[in-house]
Structures are given as structure tokens and as C-alpha cells.
Structure 1
């Protein structure tokens, strides 16, 4: 594959992506998701620039080659730290580095990064310029449409203009405001109303930019509708975690690729990975906790979840537990 074709493939991967989700989208989750879609872009949990500089780099940055295409999301607002973190991460071979300008948690507010940076577009522009100077892959931004009392109609276009002027051409926009005062992070994912129309208008106003949308997308049909309306990509969040088969099995059809596995095939594909993880001292539940929602809505799904929840965290748990959980689905299918 030529360099240009690789770049084209990575760019096309953004037609569908799985969001960075704290405590959820770790390397085991991403490997699991990759069994259902070969094409979608996968994002890491947010890692702060300071953690990359001073923390255990291997633990924070390692991933399996099978996870490509994969993006690293970094949090921070110190230009020097972000630049150095981007340089360090370059050795790991990520396909993209993304700056978090959307997380509304108290922790990121106190550290002056995440959604609070929507109030500081000039600082964001300076940060991404520093990152781009050290990056060997595209630097992108994930943001909100605004925060607190800001008027998104004014704030978002100004933000896009200033940050794109610093060299960013790809934005993932969570189509909700973030209320930094009065709402919890969970409430910020649900209560502020979605404004898809504003994001669509931003794509029309900035046709040269890659504009992807995030927030409230729960089906492939919904994702395709948004793509057909002219957006460059759709990012899935909680739906990809709680009901992965419904949005990831068959997702590669968005690229005209009809191949792929079903939910049971995804389980089978995880077996060698699970064995390797256990052989190196890992625990079964570290992987299977991400698989609990795989059979949501199917007969036996409750038994599947129960067996994995109760037994996967016990010492010595292995593939026998996975087989027992599958047995619950088979028993339910037989009874039906």
C-alpha cells in the first residue's frame, strides 16, 4: 500500500468511529471492537499530556497492531507539555492524535482542559500548533458546540475558524453544550439538547474542513442518514459500548465492505487474545467486562451477563467461564 493510499484509508476510517470513553475504551475494549469492524477508527481513553511525560509510558500508550486505525486522545492546555507528549507518542505509531476540548468533568475543569477550553479558542489554536509541529500524523480536535451561557451560533464558528487557522482540518463535534456549572459529566451526555442542525451548518460554512458529529447516535441507520446529509463522519459513544453488536456488526457496509463476523464470531475471535492475556498474568474480567452488552436484546443475554459478572473476576477464571456464558445463550435458544 502506498503512502497516499494509507492516508486515504485513514481519512475514510472517520466515516464511523468509536469515541474515547474514560474507563471504557481501553486496549481490551478496542481489540474487542475491532473484531466486529475492520474499518472504523477507534479512539483511546483520554490520556493527559502530563501523564505521558511523567507516567508509565508503556502502560499508557501500548496497543495491539490489530487495533489500527487508532487515534490517541490527549488532554491538556500547556503547549510545551502537549508538544512533548505528541512527540513521545509518535514512537508508538498511532494514526492520529486528538486534543480533548469536550470533556466536562470537574477534574478537567480544574486542570484547564477539556470543554472549558471552548472559552479559550486562541489558547487551543496555540496548543494544536505546538502539537502539529511535533506530530508525524494528523492532529484533530474533539469539541462541544459551546459551554454554559455561550451562544453556540457565535462561539462554534469562531472556534473552528481560529483553530483551523492553526493547522487543524479535522473536528469531531459533540452536538451538545457542556454545562460546567450544575450538571455532572453523565448529565452532560444526556440533558443538554442535541443540535445536529448547527453541526450540519458548520460543514456547509467550512466545506474544506472534515467535520464529524458525536452525540446521541444509536444506530447504523442514523449514522448513514447523517453521512448522507453531508457530514464526513459519525462518532459512536455509549451505544458502541452497551450494545456493540447493533452498531458495529455490519458497520463496514458503510465502506461497501460486506464481510465481517456476527456477535458469536466476535467471541470466537477473542479466544486467542484472552488466552494470551491470561498467560501473561492478566485476569479474564479485564477483557470480558467490555463484552457484557454483546448480546443485548437476545434470549439468554441476561444469563450471559450474569455468568461473566459473577465468575470472570475469580482467580483462575478462563475460557471455561466464557463457554459457560455462551451456554446460557444456547440454552435460551433451545428453550425458544
Structure 2
């Protein structure tokens, strides 16, 4: 499954989720939540950046609009030994766009070049770029720019790849509408266009192209891999994590691992890990029962042990 990654998701791909995910999948690349360069510079860096060795391979995703902030943030992050650095040029949130970050950056490929080249001065880790196939900048960009053609996508990628050493492009196959839609609406309302990403890979075979957006099954993954190098799965990997159960271990065994993790990590509130496991029994008769147990903010390992006893009765 090294051809698969789990998308960075705010409030979802936390350290606790990543440790839960590693209980049944060791090879898929994981991402941090999107973290702003300024947060790294000014914040509690251990809380933001520290992770366990078991989480490898793991990428740090940063959001920034300033090459100097980016350089300083990665200098700080270097001590944590992430496997790669990912620049976010795809987040469609209008709050992020108003700060000239996320998908807004697609309107300024020269800025992405500057950011990437400043980061390169302080790290030898691979630098990758996550972006959309285009943007609708109405109400955000000065010229209300619409970037929604294959030719514009190709021009954007060429400007970045010809002026940096970025070789990997993770592409969400929808445009980002920078104003008027919520992030969740931006994942569903703009039409999806996988063919545009396939064409980019065909015409730029030297680039490592990873496709993202609306992918829900392993059958879909296999089909995409006929045309691109790898596949990123987002909400489906979170809501139905057993989709990526590469060891084919049982849910019973995973809960045993959860119990061990909780009892060995007393500094972590148990709820902060179980809250990320609500999809463990997705589409099974235990789904509702498990969600009731795992979503209890006062949950303890004994509650999980009692749940296992109920499973034994079946």
C-alpha cells in the first residue's frame, strides 16, 4: 500500500489518529494536519510537531504566504525528522485564502517557487506540493481570476517544476472556489475531473503525480494507478479506516492495541485517541454501539475491555 497516502485533514490527522492508524497499516504515507509556518515559529512546537517513530512515513504539511516564514519554520521542524515537507496550495477555506495561503497560492506560482527554494536551503528532505486542478478567485483575487483549464494547470506545474526541485505533485481533481463555499462544499460541489490529472501525468511523465478527491474504494485506487503514480484518500480513510487494513487483522485485535496504547500513554486523554476511531465498525452491526462507547469524553481502558466482552458473546 505504499502507493496510497492519507490526506492531511484539520482536526483529524492528529498524532493520536496517526498512532491509531498505524495499528493496522504501516506503509501508507501519513500527513500532519495543515500547520501554518507562523504557528510553528510562535507556538508550542512539541505539541505541534512531535510524533512517534511508528508514524513513519510521515510528511509535515505547512501553510504559508511568506518565504522567510517558511524557511524559519522548517529550520525549527528539522529536529523532528519528518520524511518530507509538503506545501499546501490546495486548501479552499476562504479564511486561509484571505491570508494568501492554501489554494490562493495557485494564483502566484512564483511565490511557491520562492517558498520552495528557501525551504531547500535548510533541509535535504523531499519537498512536495499539494494543490487543485484550478481555482475560482472571484471575490478574493484582484482580477477575480478563474483558472479552470488544462492549459493553465500545465503552465502552473511547469513554472514550479522548472524552477524548483519539487518532483511530486498531489492533485485534488477539482477546482477550489475561494469564496462562497465551505471546505466541505469545496470537496463535493466543484465537478471532479480525473482525466485532467491523468493527462498531466501522460504529458509530464518525469513528474511524480498523486491523485486525490472523492476516492472511496480500493477498486477505484487500482484504476487510478493505471494512469498516475499514487493515490491519496481523505475522508474515506478516516470514516472507514478498515479500508486500509493492510494486515487484515481483526477489529478485536485493534481494540486490544488501543487498550495497550491508552495504558502506556497516561499523559494522553483516552478520548483523544478513541474519538478518531469512530469508523472502526463502519457498516457493521456494531457501528452505533462502538460510536457510543468511543465518543464518550470520559472513556477509560476498562470501557474498551467491557466492549470486548460484548464482542466475545457473539
Count of residues in Structure 1 that have an aligned counterpart in Structure 2: 304
Q: How far apart are 1:127 and its partner, in Å?
A: 1.0
Deviation at 1:271, TM superposition (A): 2.3
Structure 2 residue aligned with 1:75, among 63, 75, 81?
63
Question: Deviations for 1:25-61, whole angstroms, at most 9, x for unmatched residues?
Answer: 0000011111121110000001100011111111100
Which of these residues, 231, 234, 257, is aligned with residue 237 of structure 1? 234
- 2:49 equivalent to 1:56: no
- Taking structure 2 as the reference length, the TM-score comes to 0.93
Match of 2:128 in 1: 140
Supply the distance in 2 between the matched residues of 1:172 and 1:267 (Cα, whole angstroms).
Answer: 32
State the distance in 1 between where 2:27 and 2:147 align: 36
TM-score by length of 1: 0.87
- Tell me by how many angstroms 1:328 deviates: 4.9
Residue 99 of structure 1 is matched in structure 2 by 87
Do the aligned partners of 1:301 and 1:329 also contact (CA within 8 Å) in 2?
no
Displacement of 1:17: 0.3
Separation of aligned partners in 1, 2:310 and 2:236:
23
Corresponding residue number in structure 1 for 2:216: 218
Does the Cα contact within 8 Å between 2:4 and 2:232 map onto a contact in 1? yes
CA distance in 1, matches of 2:251, 2:124: 36
Say if 1:100 and 1:115, in contact at 8 Å, map to a contact too: yes
In structure 1, the gaps of 5 or more residues are: 1-11, 251-258
Distance in 1 (alpha carbons) for counterparts of 2:252 and 2:129: 35
Give RMSD over aligned pairs: 1.5
1:152 aligns with 2:177: no
| Structure-2 residue corresponding to 1:164 | 161
User: Do the aligned residues in 1 keep the contact of 2:9 with 2:234 (CA within 8 Å)?
Assistant: yes
Query: What is the aligned counterpart of 2:284 among 298, 304, 308?
Result: 298
What's the CA shift for 1:263? 2.7
Structure-2 separation of matches of 1:198 and 1:48:
29
Secondary structure class of the residue paired with 1:147 = strand
Q: 236-245 or 121-130, which moves further after superposition?
A: 121-130
Deviation (angstroms), 1:193: 1.0
1:263 pairs with 2:251: yes
- Kindly indicate whether the alpha-carbon contact (under 8 Å) linking 1:304 and 1:326 is maintained by their aligned counterparts in 2: no
Q: 1:323 aligns with which of 287, 294, 305?
A: 305
Residues 2-151 of structure 1 aligned to structure 2 (within 5 Å): 13=2, 15-148=3-136, 149-151=146-148
Secondary structure of the corresponding residue to residue 156 of structure 1: helix
Report the equivalent of 1:200.
Answer: 198
Residue number in structure 1 paired with 2:245: 249
| Structure 2 Cα separation of the partners of residues 230 and 44 of structure 1 | 27
Which of the pair is proportionally richer in helix?
A: 1
Q: For residues 76-124 of structure 1, what are the alpha-carbon distances to aligned partners after superposition, in whole Å with 9 as ceiling and x for unaligned?
A: 0100110111122111010000000000112211211001111111111
Deviations 1:117-144 (A, max 9, x none): 1111111111111112212210000000
- Deviation, structure 1 residue 284: 1.3
Structure 2 unmatched ranges of 5 or more: 137-145
Task: Provide the rounded CA distance (Å) in 2 between the counterparts of 1:197 and 1:266.
Answer: 38
CA distance in 2, matches of 1:172, 1:262: 31
Give the Cα separation in 1 of the matches to 2:312 and 2:108.
54
